[in-house]
Amino acid sequence: MIKAVIIDDEAESRNVISNIVKNYGTDIEIAGEADNVASGVKLIKKTNPDLVFLDVQMPDGTGFTLLEKFAKITFQVIFVTAYEQYAIKAIKFSAIDYILKPIDPQLLIEAVEKVKKLSPEKNQAFERINNLLKNSKNISKIALPTLNGYRFVKVQYIVRCESDNNYTIFYLQTNEKIIVTRTLKEYEEMLKNDSFVRVHQSHLINLNHVEQYIKGDGGTAVMSDGSEVEISRRKKELFLKRILRE
């Protein structure tokens, strides 16, 4: 049985989450509810939950503010929030689950199931929350899920990403290679505003690591690690526009 608390300033949202949990038999006990940061901190200290359903925007601060009140995070977090671009980006980069309002019951249950599958030695809750709090101020690291947990990589160290069916291979400035069980499209969406551009069906590159462009049908980008990345003909205009602007 997982002990959970709900911290959200909207009574309707708290009721929806509570009802979904009860009706879908997710083996979760709701140990309490709170409607702001201050009461949420007290609730967590009192109940010592395994899981916190946490809103981002509240009257006396944010979900990030609440998390900063704890020297060490010992619980998992699922954010339940209205769409706010920067907050969602920080959450995504830290590999933490979130559900958008209005709440979709199936998505909430799926998020809960992910939490249930995390073993204590592998959940790395503290590292991911710590990364989130840093990213909430200035996004700099991305959490990459691996077989052993998560790798936290500075975005600036990523040279390029390559698709391998449902996997993505990250090539780092250190010549290290990290294989992640997520698609390139997911990372294209996350990184598209951070000097990254999709230049080919199989390649996403960091423009800050492009050292040379070789003309051709689509052309080739020579990267800082010495690799050469083919640019598709239909992506050539976008690449040149972005690289010249950068």
For the chain, the structural domain boundaries read 2-135, 141-245
Mean pLDDT of 62-73: 92
Contact 195, 204 (CB under 8 A): no
pLDDT, position 124: 64
The mean pLDDT of the chain is 91
The whole-model pTM stands at 0.79
pLDDT tens sequence across 22-46: 888 768 899 999 999 999 999 999 9
CA atoms within 13 A on the CB side of 82: 7
pLDDT, position 82: 85
- Between 120 and 2, the more confident residue is 2
Q: Check whether 120 has a pLDDT greater than 60.
A: no
Residue matched to tokens 């709090």: 133
Q: Give the list of residues 6+ apart from residue 234 with CB closer than 8 angstroms, or none.
A: 218
Burial 64-74 (b: 16+ CB within 10 A, else e): bbbbeeeeebe
- As assigned by CATH, the class of the 2-135 domain is alpha beta
CATH of segment(s) 141-245: 2.40.50.1020
**How far out from the chain centre does Cα 64 lie?**
14
Question: Percent of the chain, pLDDT > 70?
Answer: 97
Give CA–CA dist 36/129, Å, rounded.
19
pLDDT tens sequence across 208-231: 999 999 998 999 999 999 999 999
For residue 180, which amino acid is it?
A: V
- For residue 203 the two structure tokens come to 């390649």
